[in-house]
Structure 1
Amino acid sequence: MRDAAVLSAIGIGPDERRRVLGVSVALSEAEVHWRGFLDDLVARGMRGVEFIVSDDHAGLRAARRAVLGAATWQRCQFHLAANAVHHAPNIAIRERIGAELRSIWNAPTLAKAQVALDELVAGYRDTAPSLATWLENAVPEGLAVFTLPEHHRRRLRTSNLIERAVQQELKRRTVKVRVFPNDQALLRLVSAVLVEIDETWASDNKAYIKWECRNG
């Protein structure tokens, strides 16, 4: 018996609907497995990827750069906030850092977000220097969403879509089985779950994102 990693990806296509792009069962989330997964998506016809949202997992980061390096990457703001809490040196900062980051992410423009970030970093430079350095290096990776039209930012600034709609459902369904006899059995179950999710999304008459919407 051993642990296994379930790798999955979803996307939003030209038809403005969410779709499941693929799923795989691997030994771990190491770069070699993520890269094989992404290579397979490309081999099966995935094209035109312009914007990627994910957390900062080292294996996924390296694989994404190798296979989809031309796409803009948005680091999930939800995970960034969670990471910031771990870098905060005391309870007082941990309790307020989330709100401070939201003030940056809710800025109307990239320029104003950058000003707010600079002020936040400066405010912690003396009292929490390690946190200040982390904020300065990590938070800009969560600002790529400002390159998108304002209408699209709320949907694409976190990876909550795959976390809530896919990963939570996979966890709920797999925990009931607890132990799978082999990888193929696990893959059959998670594939069936994702087919259900994909069919629900495909039949939804409401667009998830309206691509024609632009600022102004």
Structure 2
Amino acid sequence: MTQLQFNLNLDLLKESVMDSDIDSVIKASIVLVLNEFMEKERDDHLKARAYERTPSRHDYRNGYYDRELLLSIGKIVLRVPRTRNGDFSTTVFEQYARCDQAFVLSMLEMVVNGVSTRKVTNIVEQLCGHKVSKSFVSTLTEKLDPIVNQWANRPLNTMYYPYIFADAMYIKVREHNRVVSKAVYIATAVDETNRREILGLRVDHVESFEAWQRFFHHLQSRGLQAPKLIISDAHKGLKSAIEKEFVGSAWQRCTVHFKKNIITHMPKKDMDEVKIALKRIFEVAKVKDARKYKDEFINTFGDNPKLEKAIEILEEGFEDAIQYLNEKPMFHKHIRSTNSLERINSEVRRREKVIRIFPNTQSAFRLIGAVLMDYAEEVNKRIIPEKEEKKQKK
């Protein structure tokens, strides 16, 4: 594995932590991490794990008591371990002023950012003066599984999503002593209040009709209803799965992918005028105008034999690429392409490339799910500001 240089700026880290707005999911993660850390402290104090018989045992467990801890993000309640003799005392509370939130949040951030467990142990020791094992860090990351799983399986029947975006990206995973490529399927949406939301993800084998169908079945099992419009690229398996599983929903071919596909089949030189004319087709507000500019494009450049293939692609995919024009103009720039989803994919890729190869599928699901949860707060905002929407309605 590539060795990474991780230079910790504690002041900067603490400042970013104190200024952050952390949602309840991260707060729950903090509780899990601190509880597990105190459990490890008691094991070390007793010199024995739970139910372990050893001659070096110092004392015995005696349950837990609840204790509150006030953070800038709000109050949390921790389960503090006890011993029979009462001589065990956790260092979490007395050292929290020095370790601050940086201890827990840096660990969670490092997990999400794909930093190796070896690096995490070194940084924790630098932060708090405590040395923890790699297995301990691995155990902590695994405790994120129920949080990620709960988010990834939350109900989708509480809101109708008229516009859904779907895309897939590839990652490397170790499987049966081999490194294989796996596809990560991600779906986002715009709800009735014009807010973006990440619907879910799935890690599966190569992108195919069957795999996309399984992903859509998963979303439907959580209550997802057929949308008005599904925006994606023109992958055959994805398109077939959309037609099969969302009967009555229109399919919008991503205009960015579509234009790139057309331009790929154009000559490299002297195409500026052609590209401008092509771009104009998709910068209108009405279907009739798009068809008008498309016809003008063909009439103007149709006699050029070098553009024969490009024009063929344009005519074949044109109607699927202008479905967004049947919706309200205020939504056009947001639903004509998968750019919003591509940005999320880029964020996932930025974190994922640190690891390069995931040890297993579950670790990939855990990391990508954590990244999406972290990104969800930024995604979950109105795509049309309320004032602008009222103005456009007038």
User: TM-score by structure 2 length?
Assistant: 0.51
What residue in structure 1 maps to residue 294 of structure 2? Answer: 117
Q: Please state if 1:147 is matched with 2:322.
A: no
Q: Structure 1 residues 67 and 97, CA, compared in 2 at 3 Å: closer, same or farther?
A: farther
Q: How many residues align?
A: 211
AA matched with 2:283: N
**Partners of 1:90 and 1:170 in 2: CA distance:** 32
Question: 1:123: Cα distance to partner?
Answer: 2.5
Instruction: After superposition, give the CA deviation of every residue in 1:48-95 in whole Å (9 maximum; x if it has no partner).
Output: 4111111111111111111113111111111111101112145223x4
Task: Give the stretch that moved more between structures: 153-162 or 130-139.
Answer: 130-139
Specify which of 233, 240, 243 is matched with residue 65 of structure 1.
Answer: 243
Specify which of 356, 378, 392 is matched with residue 178 of structure 1.
Answer: 356
What residue in structure 1 maps to residue 92 of structure 2? Answer: none
Q: Structure 1 residues 180 and 150, CA, compared in 2 at 3 Å: closer, same or farther?
A: same
What residue in structure 2 maps to residue 104 of structure 1? Answer: 281
Q: Please state if 1:131 is matched with 2:306.
A: no
SS in 1 for 2:358: coil
What residue in structure 2 maps to residue 23 of structure 1? Answer: 201
What residue in structure 2 maps to residue 36 of structure 1? Answer: 214
What residue in structure 2 maps to residue 209 of structure 1? Answer: 384
The structure in which a higher percent of residues are helix is 1
The structure in which a higher percent of residues are strand is 2
SS in 1 for 2:198: strand
Q: Structure 1 residues 44 and 108, CA, compared in 2 at 3 Å: closer, same or farther?
A: closer
Instruction: After superposition, give the CA deviation of every residue in 1:164-212 in whole Å (9 maximum; x if it has no partner).
Output: 1x1001100110000111111111100111111223334x4xx213797
Q: Structure 1 residues 140 and 96, CA, compared in 2 at 3 Å: closer, same or farther?
A: farther
Question: 1:150: Cα distance to partner?
Answer: 1.0
Q: Structure 1 residues 200 and 215, CA, compared in 2 at 3 Å: closer, same or farther?
A: closer
SS in 1 for 2:181: coil
**Partners of 2:270 and 2:327 in 1: CA distance:** 34
Instruction: After superposition, give the CA deviation of every residue in 1:116-170 in whole Å (9 maximum; x if it has no partner).
Output: 1011122332213222222111222211111011111111111100001x10011
CA contact (8 A) 1:84 1:97 kept: no
CA contact (8 A) 1:10 1:162 kept: yes
Q: Structure 1 residues 125 and 210, CA, compared in 2 at 3 Å: closer, same or farther?
A: same
- Unaligned ranges ≥5, structure 1: none
What residue in structure 2 maps to residue 158 of structure 1? Answer: 337
Q: Please state if 1:188 is matched with 2:390.
A: no
Larger Rg: 2
**Partners of 1:48 and 1:210 in 2: CA distance:** 25
CA contact (8 A) 2:226 2:246 kept: no
Question: 1:15: Cα distance to partner?
Answer: 2.8
**Partners of 2:340 and 2:257 in 1: CA distance:** 13
Q: Please state if 1:5 is matched with 2:5.
A: no
- Unaligned ranges ≥5, structure 2: 1-178
CA contact (8 A) 1:9 1:21 kept: yes
Question: 1:107: Cα distance to partner?
Answer: 2.1
AA matched with 1:190: I
CA contact (8 A) 1:51 1:72 kept: yes
**Partners of 1:88 and 1:55 in 2: CA distance:** 20
SS in 2 for 1:4: strand
**Partners of 1:97 and 1:25 in 2: CA distance:** 40
User: TM-score by structure 1 length?
Assistant: 0.90
AA matched with 1:147: N
Q: How does 1:71-110 map to 2 (within 5 A)?
A: 71-93=249-271, 95-110=272-287
CA contact (8 A) 1:23 1:191 kept: yes
Identity of aligned residues (%): 27
CA contact (8 A) 1:149 1:215 kept: no
Q: Structure 1 residues 182 and 46, CA, compared in 2 at 3 Å: closer, same or farther?
A: same
